[in-house]
Chain A
Amino acid sequence: MPSLNRAQLRELTRIVGDRGVRSDAGARSAYESDGFMLERATPEVVVLPRTTEEAAAAVRILRDAGLVIVPRGAGTGLSGGARPIAGGAILGTARMRDVLEVNETDRYARVQAGVVNVHLTSACASAGLFYAPDPSSQTACTIGGNVGNNSGGPHGFRYGSTTRHVLGLTLVDSEGEITRIGGPFPDPRFGYDLLGPLVGSEGMLGLVTEVTVRLLPQPRCVETLLCLFEDLDACCDAVSEMIARRLEPSAIEILDRLTIEAVEASVLRAGYPSNAEAVLLIEVDGGADEVASTSEDLIAVATEFGAFDSRRTTDPVERKKLWTGRKGAFGAMGRIAPDLYVADVVAPRTRLREIVRVAAAACEERGLRLANVFHAGDGNLHPNISYDRRNADEVRRVLEAGEIIMQACVDAGGSLTGEHGVGVEKQKEMCMFFNDEDLDAMKALKSAFDPVGFWNPGKMIPVRGCREIHTKPLGDSVGVTP
């Protein structure tokens, strides 16, 4: 396996400083996985540059050393995209965390890729602006990571995922060359819209070191609703109906009882009711009258579908608590079992109940505990399955259930991932959704940016062709590193 020689290591250290290079076994071991814990592989070296220029210089050294590069933000990703397949270097943006510019008039911000999502939002709050994508890990995840995964979040329902908010970015390519693409302007000027394929490219086309994002005026009025249901099916149907009636809140989330219990037992307790099987957490924003009209209509739908109670609040402190609870739900599941498999599938919004039932049945049959907390308004389901990775049989059952859920979604016209990305987790399952020719087109894109396979190799696109993968029995395609 290629690695750095002493001179190269010294040169790297000279460029990025003592704290920018970690090559001892202990330090590297912390980078062997991200939020996806089923598999791991340790990098040869971890490099943490402070600027675009440092990153570019580091890339040249790593390339000369024959190391491949895995870009990484805060390592909160859930598909294994930010950890190596085998060896190579982690190039992390965690020290690139300056907000370079907030422009109030033109409503954009320019940030280094390692800026934490929530820090960007607080940096532009005094200008009355906000950055819309709000993944649940926003208190830790970076804007660069969001770009890599085209991250969503609850408010993606109204405002869309990251791709709708990126105006420009700076990319370091495999030559170590720095290129600025787009800018703070609303439309691409000529040639192709390179931002399109770069956003969501999971670090496979280069390292994003700077991002210019669109900022939105803070809504004049925000109301949060909590609708309580006695069963999850009815809750799902209510959401389908809200979509069918074309109501436009900014977020529609479902939390089931197990999730509520975990959150309420945690430091993030939000005051969710203990007597509901499922709750709808909805946010409505806009002008005061728009908010009032829409909230009334939403509550009417919820009531019609059996909500036994609906609460409304405009108090910022209370609202924040409700959302902090939602966003910590994934972590709170740590109270239930040592490990958590977070599925991230998408279904057409007319078929939410169906998929939730498939997930419930798949887990029940396998004796697994399932908790649901998801972006219902977008059809983006997160069945969370608790397990203990030391129990190999349980791991196998979890992955089996995961595949059944993915297959059911694809069969219903849905997809494999709504916001967590493919990474290593869903690489083989890509063949459920795409055929070899579709994947060839993706390889064509990859090779235009990265002809030698330098950036984040072994991710997203299956290594073997789909035809080959499809000939294997279902359970066999599940890759487990015990």
Chain B
Amino acid sequence: MSTEGHRPHPSTKTSLIDHARSLDCIHCGLCLTTCPTYQLTGSETSSPRGRIHLMRAVAEDRLEPDAGFAEEMDFCLVCRHCESVCPAGVEFGAMMEFTRSSLREQQPPGPLARFARWVGFRRILPSRFGLKAAVLGLQLGQTLGLIRLAAPLLGLRGSVMRHLPKVPPRSERRPLPAVTPAQGEKRDRVLVLEGCVMPELFGRVNHAVARTLSATGLDVLSVPKHVCCGALHAHNGEMKDAEELARETIRRFDAVDPSARIVVDSAGCGAHMREYGRLLANDPEYAARAAAFGARVVDYSEELSLPAARARLRPLLRAGHGIEGPITWDDPCHLCHGQGVVDQPRQLLDLVPGLERREMTAANSCCGSAGIYSVLRPKDSLDVLAPKLEHLAKSGAKTLVTANPGCHQQWLVGIGREGMDVPVLHLAEVLDRAISAGE
């Protein structure tokens, strides 16, 4: 029903909307309860169906795309939970990216916001130097107590900053070696995405990923000089940048190995990279290559769930890993809704001896992190997290496991605010510790 990836015409308001895609929705409403903003407000306007209704009304010239409209579009976390339950297969995430992108082009934000976005999207994210500089700034701020001082001035955003993680020591922030060689008999080789924020704040996760993959007999290749996949740009309507970063990613990865599977340990990046084919569909040079690239992308948990990997992994896992149970798995939206990966992480956790796993209510609902949403809309973000914290407390879990840097950070903030004592780990860290326990 939908026309793949056609570009909006910048002057008419009907071109704000991917109208063809909006027609897939027949208004049944089954998406309502999955939507974090509908849960929060009870307002149908702030539900997937409502937002599509608004888009359609704008496209059909029955509604002005005013500030209220833009606000409703920005309020969405693009968690894509609605896509998981939509019987009509409405591609909500794609529609929202389209609308946001058109809005940016037609109604550019004010100069200050534009500058902030320019710094964030052009200077920091795609540049290793920019990221390091930002982290250095954060570290400096933490060391000197500037954040603490600035927090009251920044209001709620400040209170979020107060809970920013300690910038990890340099040793954790070192990049992966070009090759982490397979342990034991070599089965295959894979590429890994190190990502933008991951090496700076969660470098230990990347190292755990490399160690565990290599332990199951894989040569793990990193991609030098690659920084950003462009997911955050796309989610926030910076489509031109997103497209350019996608092309760069494809070039750099293919230069290392044009056929190996690409293992991603950050759900948001994985979901986005899988869709490079759609993103670059109108680029004659890249369309086919991007589709093939997308098909090679696998989540870390998928890679280890392949029968050969599981067979090698299982005997390596030992009790005595020091992780306090029971644990619970929180589905990153872009893993379960964006990539349909639900069972694999749970099954992997269940392989670990001496670790009880409990299901948390609504594990597949959004934690409110949603890329940079938590920075742009801290109050809404924390409101979305609030019921999740209750579910976590009710589950009785002593450790929370997830697989996305944004979610990881969001949980740390929320758990910190509640004064709970629940460490947050990436799936790879759990497996890595269980392997180390046997060494």
Interfacial residues, chain A to chain B (CB-CB below 8 A): 19, 22, 24-27, 29-35, 37, 46, 48, 74-76, 92, 94-95, 97, 114, 116, 118-119, 137, 139-141, 262-263, 265-268, 328-335, 338-340, 388
Interface range on chain B (Cβ under 8 Å from partner) = 35 or more
CA distance A27 to B89 in the complex (A): 25
Closest to A118 in B: B33
Other than A29-B63, A48-B43, give 6 A-B pairs with Cβ distance below 8 A: A46-B43, A74-B44, A76-B29, A118-B33, A331-B26, A331-B28
Q: Are A330 and B87 in contact (CB under 8 A)?
A: yes
Main secondary structure of the interface of B (DSSP, over half): loop
Q: Which positions 411-435 of chain B face chain A at CB distance < 8 Å?
A: none
- Could you say which residues of chain A place their CB within 8 Å of the CB of B47? 30
Q: Provided the pairs A140-B30, A266-B87 are in contact, do residues A25 and B68 lie with their beta carbons within 8 angstroms?
A: yes
Tell me which of B3-11, B50-58, B313-321 binds A: B50-58
Q: Is B45 interfacial (CB-CB < 8 Å)? A: yes
Q: Are B53 and A334 in contact (CB under 8 A)?
A: no
Q: Provided the pairs A266-B87, A268-B87 are in contact, do residues A137 and B33 lie with their beta carbons within 8 angstroms?
A: no
- Could you say which residues of chain B place their CB within 8 Å of the CB of A137? 28-30
- Could you say which residues of chain B place their CB within 8 Å of the CB of A32? 53
Q: Which positions 17-39 of chain B face chain A at CB distance < 8 Å?
A: 23-33, 38
Q: Is B285 interfacial (CB-CB < 8 Å)? A: no
Q: Provided the pairs A76-B28, A334-B26 are in contact, do residues A25 and B63 lie with their beta carbons within 8 angstroms?
A: yes
CA distance A24 to B28 in the complex (A): 24
Tell me which of B78-86, B119-127, B171-179, B322-330 binds A: B78-86
CA distance A333 to B88 in the complex (A): 6
Q: Are A339 and B43 in contact (CB under 8 A)?
A: no
23 A-B contact pairs sorted by A residue (CB < 8 Å): A26-B45, A26-B63, A26-B66, A33-B27, A34-B27, A46-B45, A48-B43, A74-B32, A76-B28, A94-B38, A94-B44, A97-B42, A116-B33, A137-B30, A139-B85, A262-B87, A265-B89, A267-B84, A267-B87, A331-B28, A331-B86, A332-B87, A333-B26
Q: Are B33 and A328 in contact (CB under 8 A)?
A: no
CA distance A63 to B4 in the complex (A): 49
Going nearest first, the 5 A-B pairs with the smallest beta carbon separation are A334-B88, A331-B87, A328-B87, A95-B42, A94-B42
- Could you say which residues of chain B place their CB within 8 Å of the CB of A265? 89
Q: Is B352 interfacial (CB-CB < 8 Å)? A: no
- Could you say which residues of chain B place their CB within 8 Å of the CB of A76? 28-30, 32
- Could you say which residues of chain B place their CB within 8 Å of the CB of A25? 63-64, 66, 68
Query: How far apart are A124's CB and chain B's nearest CB, in angstroms?
Result: 15
CA distance A75 to B38 in the complex (A): 13
CA distance A48 to B83 in the complex (A): 26
CA distance A26 to B42 in the complex (A): 16
Contact with B53, one of A22, A29, A94, A118 (Cβ below 8 angstroms): A29
- Could you say which residues of chain B place their CB within 8 Å of the CB of A48? 41-43
- Could you say which residues of chain A place their CB within 8 Å of the CB of B24? 334-335, 338
Q: Are A267 and B26 in contact (CB under 8 A)?
A: no
Q: Are B86 and A267 in contact (CB under 8 A)?
A: yes
CA distance A37 to B25 in the complex (A): 11
CA distance A330 to B66 in the complex (A): 33
Q: Are A22 and B45 in contact (CB under 8 A)?
A: yes
Q: Is B286 interfacial (CB-CB < 8 Å)? A: no
- Could you say which residues of chain A place their CB within 8 Å of the CB of B89? 265-267, 332, 334-335
Query: How far apart are A396's CB and chain B's nearest CB, in angstroms?
Result: 19
Interfacial residues, chain B to chain A (CB-CB below 8 A): 1, 23-33, 38, 41-45, 47, 49-50, 53-54, 57, 62-64, 66, 68-69, 72, 83-90
Q: Are A35 and B29 in contact (CB under 8 A)?
A: yes
Query: How far apart are B51's CB and chain A's nearest CB, in angstroms?
Result: 8
Interface centre among A92, A94, A141, A339, by most chain B C-beta atoms within 10 angstroms, is: A94
- Could you say which residues of chain A place their CB within 8 Å of the CB of B63? 25-26, 29
Q: Are A35 and B27 in contact (CB under 8 A)?
A: yes
- Could you say which residues of chain A place their CB within 8 Å of the CB of B44? 30-31, 74-75, 92, 94
Closest to B70 in A: A26
CA distance A328 to B88 in the complex (A): 9
- Could you say which residues of chain B place their CB within 8 Å of the CB of A332? 87-89
- Could you say which residues of chain A place their CB within 8 Å of the CB of B83? 267
CA distance A248 to B219 in the complex (A): 61
CA distance A381 to B88 in the complex (A): 21
CA distance A332 to B87 in the complex (A): 4
Q: Provided the pairs A74-B32, A75-B44, A92-B42 are in contact, do residues A338 and B86 lie with their beta carbons within 8 angstroms?
A: no
Interface centre among A48, A141, A265, A338, by most chain B C-beta atoms within 10 angstroms, is: A338
Query: How far apart are B36's CB and chain A's nearest CB, in angstroms?
Result: 14
Q: Are A26 and B87 in contact (CB under 8 A)?
A: no
Interface centre among A139, A140, A266, A340, by most chain B C-beta atoms within 10 angstroms, is: A140
- Could you say which residues of chain A place their CB within 8 Å of the CB of B86? 266-267, 331
CA distance A334 to B23 in the complex (A): 8
- Could you say which residues of chain B place their CB within 8 Å of the CB of A331? 26, 28, 30, 86-88
- Could you say which residues of chain B place their CB within 8 Å of the CB of A139? 30, 33, 85
Q: Are B87 and A74 in contact (CB under 8 A)?
A: no
CA distance A139 to B82 in the complex (A): 12
Closest to A48 in B: B42
Closest to A33 in B: B27
Query: How far apart are B48's CB and chain A's nearest CB, in angstroms?
Result: 11
CA distance A119 to B41 in the complex (A): 17
- Could you say which residues of chain B place their CB within 8 Å of the CB of A74? 29, 32-33, 44
Q: Are A19 and B57 in contact (CB under 8 A)?
A: no
Q: Provided the pairs A25-B64, A26-B69, A331-B30 are in contact, do residues A19 and B42 lie with their beta carbons within 8 angstroms?
A: yes
CA distance A423 to B90 in the complex (A): 27
Interface centre among A22, A29, A119, A333, by most chain B C-beta atoms within 10 angstroms, is: A29
CA distance A246 to B332 in the complex (A): 49
CA distance A262 to B28 in the complex (A): 15
CA distance A95 to B43 in the complex (A): 8
Query: How far apart are A265's CB and chain B's nearest CB, in angstroms?
Result: 7
Q: Are A330 and B43 in contact (CB under 8 A)?
A: no
CA distance A448 to B88 in the complex (A): 43
CA distance A118 to B85 in the complex (A): 14
Contact with B54, one of A26, A141, A335 (Cβ below 8 angstroms): A26
- Could you say which residues of chain B place their CB within 8 Å of the CB of A27? 43, 45, 68, 72
- Could you say which residues of chain B place their CB within 8 Å of the CB of A335? 1, 24, 88-89
Query: How far apart are A343's CB and chain B's nearest CB, in angstroms?
Result: 15
Query: How far apart are B333's CB and chain A's nearest CB, in angstroms?
Result: 15
CA distance A30 to B27 in the complex (A): 11
- Could you say which residues of chain B place their CB within 8 Å of the CB of A338? 1, 23-24, 26
CA distance A140 to B33 in the complex (A): 6
Closest to B71 in A: A26
Query: How far apart are A29's CB and chain B's nearest CB, in angstroms?
Result: 5
- Could you say which residues of chain B place their CB within 8 Å of the CB of A29? 45, 53-54, 57, 62-63
Closest to A117 in B: B33
CA distance A263 to B85 in the complex (A): 12
CA distance A333 to B1 in the complex (A): 12
